[in-house]
A = this chain, B = another copy of it.
């Protein structure tokens, strides 16, 4: 058995979306500490070019490495679509594409899988390539949904306007008779009620947070990340690259019932 390792797990996203992943991880691993970085000064990543997204993501990874984390989760599909799972200076870097792709194939019977994402994630074809690599017979139908992030940021979940926009984006996918739908942006679980209302119960939703939590659980059991510490209470700290009261409010709403121990603004 490996030694206990009380260093936090680093998690980053361009903004609040990755908090849906942090919440899942915090609930799943109650003894682990977390350090969350939201690159709010430069958000959103979803409409930026691949090279800019890679540059910003690498800066975030270097910053978190300096904070002495034991692993880094890229809790942003757009950034994950540009950086595959790898090691950086011996530090395991997880993305959300592989766990989400694997989970979608596990729950799908027909192997007709829908994908919702930002323009950058959809254009990257990262999910399609990963799913086809796991199962060449699977079919992926994708749809970019640029309005979902601002709707989630505005807090208009379960709102008639959101239902209408969800209906607009999902109709072409549902006409392709998918039985599984990947929420390929960490903001989208905030709109889960509206999305499942349009898909109905015959389509299974795959959430990045839940998928990466299973993935990390496997590595924890294999002791890849060091055993969890047992004594001190764990800490959850949230850092952003820009100051915003709106962020703090939204973060507390999204994380509930998980509580953050501190918020601070950092320079990368």
Contacts and interface: CB of A to CB of B under 8 A. Distances in A.
Interface of A: 40-44, 47-49, 51-52, 119, 146-147, 149-151, 153-154, 160-161, 164-165, 168, 242-244, 246
Contacts of A48: 40-41, 242, 244
A153 B161 contact: no
B52 A47 contact: no
Contacts of A244: 47-49
A112 to B, nearest CB: 27
A42, A150, A161, A246, most chain B CB atoms within 10 A: A150
A55 to B, nearest CB: 9
Copies of this protein chain in the complex? 2
Contacts of A168: 161
A47 B146 contact: no
A153 B146 contact: yes
B47 A243 contact: no
A47, A51, A243, most chain B CB atoms within 10 A: A47
6 contacts: A41-B49, A44-B44, A47-B244, A49-B242, A147-B147, A147-B150
A43 B154 CA distance: 17
Nearest to A56: B41
A22 to B, nearest CB: 20
Contacts of A151: 147
A153 B47 CA distance: 10
Contacts of A153: 47, 146
A264 to B, nearest CB: 14
A149 B246 CA distance: 18
Contacts of A47: 40, 43, 153, 244, 246
